[in-house]
């Protein structure tokens, strides 16, 4: 892929978070650093001087990045600023993160994804609550390179002994996390000591400046050497291509590779790697690059699956342990239910166990049943759906989770699978056994006896469009003609096969998935199956099509408009949905995705029942001719 | 991976997340360099297609070159273009300084368009290095009731996981270029050969560094007449990009007030 994007190399970009306790001088350090490296535009210092004059206060370097009026008025950083800045050799993004406990979520938003961090500690105050907490969180966020700036050194008269105490204390804390600082620098923002140039006030200090510390950080390299992982972001059908889109999180994918989608365990071969505005065909793509692939095989793929090679595939499991940081206002407790995001997958999980809670302000672990705001804990989560993941130590990109309540992100953490088995083998073995069975009765033999081919007529449309009415009448007519025919509808499925499913989006999808599989089996048995479900989502219907096989599957769009259906309202459901009594009602408060290319459309607003039946019957006679043997 | 590859990859990821998770998207096309790069990135993300409408909120005071550019490339790139005009300046908040008040028309036009079309996501080409309040933005930035930006309480956003759902009557601003710098944009324009209006290039010792309305946007002194010369100029300049945008400089918080009310 690099060949397609030929260009002159230029300066690398490094992301550095500036973190630490509130009021320890992060913004001042950043403002000073920008000024001393001549990175501020003309007039900025004058504008800051004017803001300070209006407030009747001495010059404040922090106003360079505290861009919000409320921040300047309160003298506190509320949200992280991302600031571009350059030294002789490369470009940086400095992320000036807030140090106030109340804005911890903003610190995390700023610091995640950084290559390195600069922890700022006030020389007078020493290591404080947020210094510790930020140190711990950097570790959980995956930031491993940490330098320390001990600020306001002028206030301790550049005292070497006091500096040594702070350095020793913070080194101990980082060591507990398995980290060691790359530098510990005594600085003063007031006069710029040891920020961009060496200070005369610290003759006892032998190390470099803050600028030197930044220059020594190494940029994180994309994980090209790890096994291939591509979480599927989407499947595009904008033109004749069916493109599976995602970002290569690790490893490398090439045209012709055999790949497996997890957790569905479907195998396929890469036909092409698509690109737009590229000079030559793309033959491979490495970690870090966005890709779109097409497949040699027609398999059903959806967002949330993970692409890997057949060897070194991710773990499949429905239970996991994670070390999480918790930002929710309400504590996280055993039995709670959350949305969990894992790459592009978004599933429901239940908190099965809280193993231990770490108080990050004192770094002490304790047994507890619930996890209070702003703390770190080891928890066990269980999902109904199978998941594809990696332990974070093997692959940070696919080994981290984010918890959400509704759509609000309330926590995140790293997956640790110690003691939990990979469940992939169970699934694979089971499906191998099934496919191993060879039917001695062939499709042709069944067809010869029945006098017709088996197949699925999948009726879809809004509630009240007439799906069931048509299906029931059609079943009668076809049966009289001699066809083997059966209607699958909500009544005969919900009471038995799907009795354990409710009406949540997941359960609805599962309901349709099972109906699709049953319809496929019955069609293989020689039946014409008439399924009558709203089945509002294209993806669900596409899955049913794949289950039955394209040649057996006929999508029948019963296309009465919402207005027409709502006027009919045979069961009074629309009025109950309008009044809010029924939630997530298709057409009113939940979407209906009409078919893009159905085999046959029946508009029951234009055609009465008889004409509708005429139309579908003539279609069936064409595609499923009845020719009994004499 | 070059730095431009990294920036591009991140932008494409954001576009695809937006398309997968947010209903009813629209992309703001101001016809300036940044939004041209954005349209280009959308076409890359979706393999030559822009699968949502492209919105031009038209103050009626753009440069003629910009209108010509819009009509040409909307057709050439197969964009679904929606043009929405803006209410007159008399209807804007009179407590705003004059240029900010004039710029507020665009906010009003945009807010009206969002209401009319029911957009849940509006993709905008702002960058963090342009201006201090933009430096604090989120990639998926919710706009609450009345389309207000609540900068005191922005949702957390980490590990490429974004809050993509907003209550009824609210929408998201989606910022695929947030992490780019002005220089990055120019280097990418050069690498990808992306077309631009020629107002960005010097004529008679002046060029526009940032394009807005005719009457509140001013050119800067420059002899940079080619992309390479612009890149060379930006590597050494100490003049802020938006120095020619009058509304940014009228009062300490004039631009912040515009942004809180829904300006990009």
CA nearest to A591 within chain B: B23
Interacting residues of A462 by C-beta distance below 8 A, sequence separation 6+: A534, A560, A562, A565, A586, A587, A592
- Lowest-confidence region among A65-74, A152-161, A266-275: A65-74
Residue of B nearest to A221 (CA): B1
* Contact residues for B192 (Cβ-Cβ < 8 A; gap 6+): A277, B40
What would the two tokens of residue B17 be? 């997340």
Q: Do B133 and A290 touch (CB under 8 A)?
A: no
Range with the lowest mean pLDDT among A360-369, A545-554, B34-43, B134-143? A360-369
Radius of gyration of chain B (CA): 17
pLDDT for res A2: 34
**pLDDT tens digits, residue range A607-623?**
999 889 989 999 998 99
DSSP A151-192: E-GGGGTT-HHHHHHHHHHHHHHHHHTT---SEEEE-BTTTT
| pLDDT at site B258 | 84
The whole-number average pLDDT for the span A417-423 is: 79
B252 and A51: CB-CB below 8 Å? Answer: yes
For an interface test with B, the pick among A9, A12, A13, A30 (most B C-beta atoms closer than 10 Å) comes out as A13
pLDDT (0 to 100) of residue A585: 87
A234 with B19: Cβ contact below 8 A:
yes
Contacts of B157 in chain A (CB under 8 A): 109, 409
User: Using a CB-CB distance cutoff of 8 angstroms, which residues of chain B are in contact with residue A239?
Assistant: 47-49
- CB–CB of B3 and A10 under 8 A? yes
* Mean pLDDT across A117-132: 92
CA distance A123 to chain B (A): 28
Instruction: Name the residue among B163, B178, B181 with its Cβ closest to that of A409.
Output: B163
Which residues are registered as beta bridge partners of A151?
A122
Which residues in A433-471 are b (16+ Cβ under 10 Å) and which e? Answer: eeeeeeeeeeeeebeeebbbbbbbbbbbbbbbbbbbbbb
- Within 8 A of B77 by CB-CB distance, chain A residues are none
Q: Do B239 and A243 touch (CB under 8 A)?
A: no
Residues facing A82 on adjacent strands: A95
User: Looking at the predicted structure, is the pLDDT value of residue A442 above 90?
Assistant: no
Token readout for B12 is 């494409």
Lookup: tokens for A217: 């950080």
Cα Dmax for chain B: 51
For residue range A316-366, what is the model confidence (pLDDT) as tens digits?
988 899 999 999 999 999 999 999 999 999 999 999 999 989 877 666 677
**What amino acid positions of A are annotated as catalytic residues?**
535
Contact A247 B13 (CB under 8 A): yes
Grouping H, G, I as helix, E, B as strand and the rest as coil, residue B227 is helix
Out of A67, A113, A241, whose CB is closest to B159? A113
How much is the average pLDDT of A126-145? Answer: 90
3-class state of residue B80 by DSSP: coil
In whole angstroms, give the CA distance from residue A570 to residue A574: 9
pLDDT in tens, A246-273: 999 999 999 999 999 999 888 999 999 9
Helix, strand and coil content of chain B, in percent to the nearest 5, comes to 45, 15, 40
Q: Which residue of A has its CA nearest to B192?
A: A277
**Tokens 């980490």 — which residue?**
B158
Nearest C-alpha of chain B: how many angstroms from A166?
A: 30
Model pTM score: 0.77
The interface predicted TM-score of the complex, written ipTM, equals 0.94
Phi first, then psi: what are they for A226, rounded to 5°? -85, 165
DSSP state string for A29-77: HHHHHHHHTT-SPTTHHHHHHHHHHHTT----GGGGT--SHHHHHHTS-
What is the per-residue pLDDT across A12-70, written as a single tens digit (0 to 9) for each? 789 999 999 988 988 899 999 999 988 888 888 888 898 899 888 888 888 888 888 88
Q: How far from each other are the two terminal CA atoms of chain A, in whole angstroms?
A: 64
pLDDT of residue A480 exceeding 90, the answer is: no
Section A212-240 average pLDDT: 92
C-alpha A501/C-alpha A503 separation (Å) is: 7
- Nearest C-alpha of chain A: how many angstroms from B85? 30
Compute how many other C-beta atoms are within 10 angstroms of the C-beta atom of residue B205. 10
Q: How far is B100 from chain A (nearest CA, A)?
A: 17
Give Cα separations from A408 to A2, A231, A361, A431, A481 (angstroms). 37, 22, 25, 38, 57
Structure token digits, residue B191: 């690498």
Bigger pLDDT: B184 vs A494: B184
Size of interface A-B (CB pairs under 8 A): 166
- Provide the pLDDT confidence category of residue A430 given band limits of 50, 70 and 90: very low
For A512-543, write each residue's pLDDT tens digit: 999 999 999 999 999 999 999 999 888 889 88
Q: What is the average pLDDT score of chain A? A: 88
Look at A67 and B136 and tell me if their CB atoms are within 8 Å.
yes
Rounded to the nearest angstrom, the minimum Cα separation between A233 and chain B is 7
Structure tokens at A298: 């027609």
C-alpha B175/C-alpha B186 separation (Å) is 18
Q: A306-315, A441-450, B31-40, B186-195: which range is least confident on average?
A: A441-450
């Amino acid at each position: 892929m690099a060949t397609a994007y030929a260009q002159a190399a230029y300066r690398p970009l490094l992301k550095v978070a500036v973190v630490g306790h509130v009021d320890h001088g992060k913004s001042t350090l950043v403002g000073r650093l920008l000024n001393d490296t001549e990175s501020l535009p003309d007039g900025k210092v004058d504008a800051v001087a004017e803001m300070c004059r209006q407030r009747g206060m001495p010059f404040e370097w922090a106003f360079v990045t505290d861009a919000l009026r409320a921040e300047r008025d309160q003298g506190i950083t509320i949200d992280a600023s991302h600031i571009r800045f350059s030294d002789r050799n490369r470009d940086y993004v400095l992320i000036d993160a807030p140090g106030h406990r109340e804005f911890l979520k903003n610190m995390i938003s700023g610091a995640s994804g950084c290559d390195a961090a600069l922890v700022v500690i006030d020389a007078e105050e020493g290591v404080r609550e947020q210094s510790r907490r930020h140190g711990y969180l950097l570790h959980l966020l995956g930031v491993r390179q940490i330098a320390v700036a001990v600020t306001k050194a002028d206030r301790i008269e550049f005292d070497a002994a006091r500096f040594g105490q702070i350095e020793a204390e913070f080194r101990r804390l980082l060591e507990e996390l398995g980290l060691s600082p790359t530098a510990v620098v005594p600085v003063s923002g007031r006069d710029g000591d040891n920020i961009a140039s060496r200070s005369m006030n610290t003759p006892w200090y032998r190390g470099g400046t803050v600028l030197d510390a930044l220059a020594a950080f190494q940029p994180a390299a994309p994980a090209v050497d790890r096994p291939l992982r591509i979480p599927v972001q989407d499947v595009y059908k904008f033109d004749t291509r069916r493109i599976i889109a995602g970002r290569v999180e690790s490893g490398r994918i090439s045209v012709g590779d055999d790949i497996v989608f997890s957790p569905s365990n479907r195998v396929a071969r890469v036909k092409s790697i698509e690109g737009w505005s590229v000079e030559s065909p793309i033959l491979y793509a490495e970690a870090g690059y966005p890709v779109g692939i097409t497949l040699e095989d027609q398999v059903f793929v959806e967002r949330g699956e993970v692409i890997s090679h057949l060897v070194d595939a991710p773990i499949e499991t429905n239970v996991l342990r994670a070390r999480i940081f918790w930002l929710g206002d309400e504590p996280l407790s055993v039995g709670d239910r959350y949305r969990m995001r894992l790459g592009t997958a978004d599933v429901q999980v239940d908190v099965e166990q809280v193993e231990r809670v770490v108080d990050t302000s004192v770094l002490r672990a304790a047994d507890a049943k619930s996890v209070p705001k702003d703390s770190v804990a080891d928890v066990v989560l269980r999902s109904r759906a199978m998941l594809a993941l990696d332990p974070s130590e093997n692959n940070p990109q696919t080994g981290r989770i984010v918890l959400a309540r509704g759509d609000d992100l309330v926590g995140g953490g790293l997956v640790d699978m110690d003691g939990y088995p990979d469940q992939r083998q169970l699934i694979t073995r089971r499906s191998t056994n099934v496919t191993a069975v060879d039917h001695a009765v062939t499709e042709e033999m069944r067809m010869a006896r029945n006098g017709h081919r088996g197949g699925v007529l999948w009726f879809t449309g809004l509630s009240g469009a007439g799906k069931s009415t048509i299906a029931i009448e059609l079943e009668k007519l076809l049966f009289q003609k001699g066809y083997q025919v059966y209607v699958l509808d909500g009544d005969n499925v919900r009471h038995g096969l799907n009795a354990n499913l409710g009406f949540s989006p997941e359960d609805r999808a599962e309901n349709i998935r099972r109906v699709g599989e049953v319809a496929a089996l019955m069609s293989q048995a020689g039946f014409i199956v008439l399924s009558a479900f709203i089945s509002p989502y294209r993806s669900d219907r596409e899955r049913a099509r794949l289950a039955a096989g394209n040649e057996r599957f006929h999508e029948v769009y019963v296309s009465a408009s919402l207005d027409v259906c709502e006027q009919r309202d045979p069961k009074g459901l629309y009025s109950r949905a309008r009044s809010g009594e029924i939630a997530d009602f298709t057409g009113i408060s939940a979407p209906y995705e009409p078919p893009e290319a159905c085999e046959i459309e029946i508009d029951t607003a234009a055609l009465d029942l008889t004409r509708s039946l005429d139309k579908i019957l003539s279609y069936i006679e064409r595609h499923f001719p009845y020719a009994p043997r004499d | 991976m070059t730095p431009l590859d990294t920036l591009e990859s991140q932008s494409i990821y954001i576009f695809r997340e937006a398309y997968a998770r947010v209903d009813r998207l629209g992309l703001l096309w101001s016809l300036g360099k940044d939004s041209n790069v954005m349209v280009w990135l959308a076409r890359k993300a979706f393999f030559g297609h822009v699968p949502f409408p492209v919105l031009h909120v038209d103050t009626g005071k753009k440069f003629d070159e910009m209108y010509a550019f819009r009509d040409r490339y909307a057709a050439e790139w197969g964009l679904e273009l929606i043009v929405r005009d803006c209410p007159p300046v008399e209807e804007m908040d009179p407590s705003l300084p004059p240029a900010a008040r004039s710029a507020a028309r665009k906010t009003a036009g945009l807010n009206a368009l969002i209401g009319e079309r029911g957009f849940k996501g509006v993709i905008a080409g702002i960058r963090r290095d342009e201006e201090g309040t933009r430096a604090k933005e989120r990639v998926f930035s919710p706009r609450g009731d009345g389309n207000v930006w609540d900068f005191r309480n922005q949702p957390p956003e980490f590990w490429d996981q974004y809050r993509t759902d907003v209550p009824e009557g609210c929408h998201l601003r989606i910022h695929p270029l947030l992490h780019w710098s002005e220089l990055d944009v120019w280097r990418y324009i050069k690498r990808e050969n992306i077309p631009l209006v020629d107002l960005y290039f010097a004529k008679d010792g002046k060029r526009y560094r940032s394009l807005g309305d005719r009457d509140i946007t001013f050119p800067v002194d420059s002899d940079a007449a080619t992309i390479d010369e612009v890149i060379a100029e930006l590597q050494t300049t100490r003049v802020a990009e938006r120095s020619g945008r009058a509304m940014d400089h009228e009062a300490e918080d004039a631009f912040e007030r515009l942004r809180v009310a829904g300006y990009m």
